[in-house]
Homo-oligomer: A and B are copies of this chain.
Amino acid sequence: MARVLLNALARGAEYVSSLSDSDRLILNGLKPQKLQFDKNTVVFREGEPANHFLLVERGVCFSHRHLENGSRQIIDLYFPGEVVALGELSKFHHTSGLMTLSDTVLAAYDKTRITRNFSRSPVLSRLFIDMISQEQANLTDRLVGLTRYNARQRIAYFLLEIRFRANRARQLQPGLRRGVGAKRLIPKPALWPPNMVRIPQVLIADSLGLSIVHVNRVLRQLRQQGCIATCGQGIVLLDVEALEAIAEWCSPEPVPASLQSNG
């Protein structure tokens, strides 16, 4: 059974563009509040009261949790069109923090309003159940992946998933209007190669439960193998099929001889 992107492709329920028109009408009727954040900014911290649920309109952010020993675990990334921390709908406090990775615009919906609408619209409540279920399925996949696949496979899978989600988000917003106060310090996303992923390596490490050093090592291997190329702070996916093969390959694959000699 092919693992690669099976789930990422199925990952549609929590993706707003896949909502039906009637659903979207209901959501739009809720009059969200638009919030704007610079890159590398804290949106909220673990434990803070959670009164809204958030939809990413522009930019990328990620939810994370800090451990007592100082390390952090990134729970998930959120691209435009995706919903942040769905599972917290029924919680009064955030169970994980949220930070922006780039300049970001969020649409904040009041929770009590949404909850009130559940009573009036069974469709909406059913929609939320489906969305949360989908997110749970993704979490389960990730859990299995983290325990049963090695760093190579996890990184390959991660890159593919990020590429997929980033591209989907890009299609959603072909004409990227410049935000009012948003600074443009990074090169225009539209100019990036289609298979480029712009993400600091430390974020990959904290997502996959690896050390940044080891992430770097694996990336070097993949580079020497011709699967990827690094350009500045970006990673270009050169050979998607090879990455897919690595990611879905489950038994410990033999390290290619070419790699060992070059290492």
Contacts and interface: CB of A to CB of B under 8 A. Distances in A.
Nearest to A142: B143
Interface in A100-143: 115, 118-119, 122, 125-126, 128-130, 132-137, 139-140, 142-143
Contacts of A143: 73, 75, 139, 142-143, 146
A65 interface: yes
A126 B136 contact: no
A96 interface: yes
A180 interface: no
What is the total number of copies of this protein in its complex? 2
Given A115-B126, A119-B122, A68 B1 contact: yes
A148 B209 contact: yes
Interface stretch (A17-25, A82-90, A217-225): A82-90
A28 interface: no
Given A89-B133, A118-B126, A135-B136, A144 B250 contact: no
A233 interface: no
A67 B132 contact: no
Interface string A134-163: 111101101110111000000000000000
Interface of A: 1, 3, 13, 65, 67-69, 71, 73, 75, 86-91, 95-96, 115, 118-119, 122, 125-126, 128-130, 132-137, 139-140, 142-144, 146-148, 208-209, 248, 250-251
Given A75-B140, A89-B129, A136-B139, 12 more contacts: A13-B90, A65-B144, A68-B251, A73-B143, A90-B134, A91-B133, A91-B137, A118-B125, A125-B125, A136-B136, A143-B143, A146-B146
